[in-house]
Amino acid sequence: MKSLFRYLDSVIKCSFDKEGTTRYKTGAVILTPAEELPKDSSCTIPDGMDRGRSLWDFVSVEETPDGFEICISLEEDQGVFGLGQGIGCLNKRGRIYEMYNTDEPDHAPSKTKLYSTLPVFYLISPRGCIGFFLDHAGYSRFDVGSENRELLRITIEGPGFDFYAIPGSPESILKSVLELTGSSLFLPIWALGFQQSRWSYPDEKTVLDIANKMRQKKIPCDVIYLDIDYMDDYKVFTWNEERFPTPRTLIDELKSMGLKVVTIIDPGVKAAEGYEVFEEGRQRSLFCKRVNGTEYRPAVWPGESRLPDFLNSKTREWWGSKYSQFIDVGVAGFWNDMNEPAIFYTPESLSSLFELAKGLEKDKGIDTEFLFGEIVAKKRYHDYGREFYQEDDFGTKHLHRNVRNVYGFNMARAAYEGIERSAPERRIFNITRSSYPGIQRYAILWTGDNESQWEQLLSEIRMVQSISLAGISFTGCDVGGFGGNCTGELLARWTQFGAFLPFFRNHSAIGTRDQEPWAFDEEIESIVRKTIEMRYSLLPYIYSENWRSTKGESVMIRPLVLLWPEDSDTYQADDQYMFGPSLLVAPVYSPNATGRHVYLPESNWLDLNSGEVLAKGHHWAIAPLDTIPLYLRENSMIITTKPLQHIESASWNNLRVKGFVKKSARFDLYEDDGITRSYERGVFSLKRIEVEKREDGIFIEILPSEGELRIEEREIIFEIFDGERTYSASVKDCPEGMALLIK
């Protein structure tokens, strides 16, 4: 075993390789290590909980026949938070998870793996914290104190891996993860709007009907999605000429209504003679090959297909260039799906299933019953990872299983880089289902095929926090649930949660009942409308926070344990979270509920529904169906505007600052054109708004704006509550700033 230790500021990088093997470097980490430690280094942890201790006092690494094993001893009061897209509590202690990207439409509590691998985790106790990131593109299994409560055992398959140990506070660990893996792409502002999707709106007329209904019913909306049925025979990068004969006209018409179109893109290329994408990929040898060197022939939506080998930059460049034809007809964004990659079957797996199915000809009672089950399970859970290989830029062949976890990452990267090449001035809207750390540089991550079930609403509340702990800020889930039939009550509650997610999209599966905001009764429609309006009114706050997330400082969704690790009551409070620095959100996730339990950490909070001030501690929040419990943190502010039907710009005339300020608070309001990259050349406005409680009143100062965007003189309404009374004033804001004392 070869090992190497390096320091990256406060991060210790440990690399382990089997002698004589070559592994694929994932591309997740963009920071280069500073200094190599001497071989006999004790890896002393410089700061945090384990100050002065050596890493090897509680971590061990051993080589095994298939790879390696890392053991980390856990202390009684430590929680293990993170691990990305896992089902279950934010604290993963007591369970087993696997890191192996999988198309898993069943998000049941027993599931150990989903679409993404995000092996970033934090050991947190009130005494201190240490974070870890396992950078490994192949299979690994995390037994997080399941077999033995005191041991976190990581089994790693493959020729080698990098492992980062990051001592410090959870917030500084997260910052280091962002330094290592890169900060978030800066999306266009309409990415923060409400988005409507379904598998599938089958034709142009239906899409226009949905758009018209949104506008007639005055439900704010910015995006409509085209799922797989817009394609000709599921051939990627084509249009179905019967059902979508005039995409450019359709897109223009939607544009005139203030709506953008996002299309789905799948990696499976239909194997059809004469189909350009297939022919080109085959001729240039850009598809994955079987281990014996022949063509690999997996089937996905279009039947027999080919999978582009995204490990290779030649393939990425070729694939990325395909997006331009859609950009040319006006498509605003792309949704990269099925990129674990999902495989339904291959000729070989299909024939072995048929072979097995021969057993069904005999009527053997329970054995026949079991065989039925076995066939279904074999079809669904067959692992294709050992059947084909991928080739990197140096010509090294890697068994797919050893690099699987970066397939989706590299597809999203190909899309991002291709879009950037063909529309360099445009901010990129790119979504992915499968991911790996660093994906935040290229795409939004959504959580895939959940179900319209209350339990899954709770599961998503936890999952988006866990994903955020891996440094992925722009995330969200299918609002209302993808599979199964939603109910009006569930849609109302899920929309309330969705309004406080970066990515806010209602999406549902084929064969399920309609789930658009008007699909239930008038009461539900009006609750959904009001909730979406609330989201649109919060855009100045959310947009500024989103901009901050692109600076690598933090993420939008912040688990309570990230901010208050010394308070162990936050460890269980994973059904609520901070959305930006000021707002605590506690979505309701039970049927027939008229309220829920909420834990408020730190100090006092302003209940934004009742107007009451609540002290640190456990509370019962009253929340009838039209209410989501929301709290404003002491000494903080939010900035709102008048909700519109769609987002017109990222600078606002109607601004209202609401604050709960006993001492002082500040907020940096960021504005720009919302769509181009002119901000990179200084065309933006950043203003610091400061509010201070003084003996004689509330002192407000708006500092001169930074950046070259000139905001015309405008009014800002302030409503500052100091715990006893509200101070209100309408203030004239201009680029030079202003100051005022409200008595």
Enumerate binding residues for ligand GLC (CB under 6 A).
Answer: 199, 227-228, 264, 337, 433, 448-449, 482, 507
Residue 162 CA, chain-centre distance (Å), reads 23
**Pick 424 or 511: Cβ nearer ligand GLC:** 511
**Pick 16 or 494: Cβ nearer ligand GLC:** 494
Q: Considering the complex, what minimum distance in angstroms separates the CB of residue 432 from ligand GLC? A: 11
Q: Considering the complex, what minimum distance in angstroms separates the CB of residue 604 from ligand GLC? A: 42
Instruction: Tell me which amino acid residue 250 is.
Output: L
Say how far apart CA 237 and CA 328 lie, in whole Å: 12
Q: Considering the complex, what minimum distance in angstroms separates the CB of residue 303 from ligand GLC? A: 15
Q: Which of 17, 50, 103, 340 is catalytic?
A: 340
Q: Considering the complex, what minimum distance in angstroms separates the CB of residue 376 from ligand GLC? A: 18
C-alpha distances in angstroms, 439 versus 211, 298, 424? Answer: 31, 26, 20
Q: Is 41 left (phi over 0), alpha (psi -120 to 50) or beta?
A: beta
Q: Is 337 a residue of the active site?
A: yes
Output b/e per residue, 457-473; b: 16+ Cβ within 10 A: bbbbbbbbbbbbbbbbb
Q: Which of 157, 222, 309, 449 is catalytic?
A: 449
Output the residue with the shortest Cβ distance to ligand GLC: 199
Q: Is 340 a residue of the active site?
A: yes
**Pick 505 or 633: Cβ nearer ligand GLC:** 505
Say how far apart CA 286 and CA 320 lie, in whole Å: 13
Nearest CA-CA partner of 689 in 638, 725, 632, 743: 638
Residue for token pair 């604050």: 659
**Pick 264 or 527: Cβ nearer ligand GLC:** 264
Q: Which of 104, 337, 489, 574 is catalytic?
A: 337
Question: 644 and 654 in contact (C-beta within 8 Å)?
Answer: no
Residue 439 CA, chain-centre distance (Å), reads 9
Say how far apart CA 486 and CA 411 lie, in whole Å: 32
**Pick 463 or 584: Cβ nearer ligand GLC:** 463
**Pick 136 or 507: Cβ nearer ligand GLC:** 507
Beta pairing class for 151-157 and 140-144? antiparallel
Q: In what order do the strands lie in the sheet with 289-290?
A: 289-290, 388-391, 397-399
Q: Considering the complex, what minimum distance in angstroms separates the CB of residue 323 from ligand GLC? A: 17
Q: Considering the complex, what minimum distance in angstroms separates the CB of residue 50 from ligand GLC? A: 41
Say how far apart CA 458 and CA 270 lie, in whole Å: 38
Q: Considering the complex, what minimum distance in angstroms separates the CB of residue 669 from ligand GLC? A: 35
Nearest CA-CA partner of 743 in 691, 690, 695, 701: 695
Q: How many CB atoms lie within 10 A of CB 682?
A: 11
Q: Is 194 helix (H, G, I), strand (E, B) or coil?
A: coil
**Pick 201 or 660: Cβ nearer ligand GLC:** 201
Residue 352 corresponds to which tokens in the numbers above? 């072995």
Q: Considering the complex, what minimum distance in angstroms separates the CB of residue 335 from ligand GLC? A: 8
**Pick 433 or 687: Cβ nearer ligand GLC:** 433
Say how far apart CA 438 and CA 708 lie, in whole Å: 31
**Pick 264 or 528: Cβ nearer ligand GLC:** 264
Q: Considering the complex, what minimum distance in angstroms separates the CB of residue 464 from ligand GLC? A: 16
Residue for token pair 């293990």: 80
Q: How many CB atoms lie within 10 A of CB 150?
A: 11
Q: Is 301 helix (H, G, I), strand (E, B) or coil?
A: coil
Question: 17 and 11 in contact (C-beta within 8 Å)?
Answer: no
Residue 607 corresponds to which tokens in the numbers above? 């209940």
Q: Considering the complex, what minimum distance in angstroms separates the CB of residue 477 from ligand GLC? A: 11
Q: What angle do CA 450, 131, 143 make, to 5 degrees?
A: 60
C-alpha distances in angstroms, 359 versus 117, 134, 354, 422, 525? Answer: 37, 44, 9, 55, 52
The residues, ordered by sequence, that sit 6+ positions from 367 with a Cβ below 8 Å of its Cβ are none
**Pick 166 or 265: Cβ nearer ligand GLC:** 265
Q: Which residues are catalytic?
A: 337, 340, 449
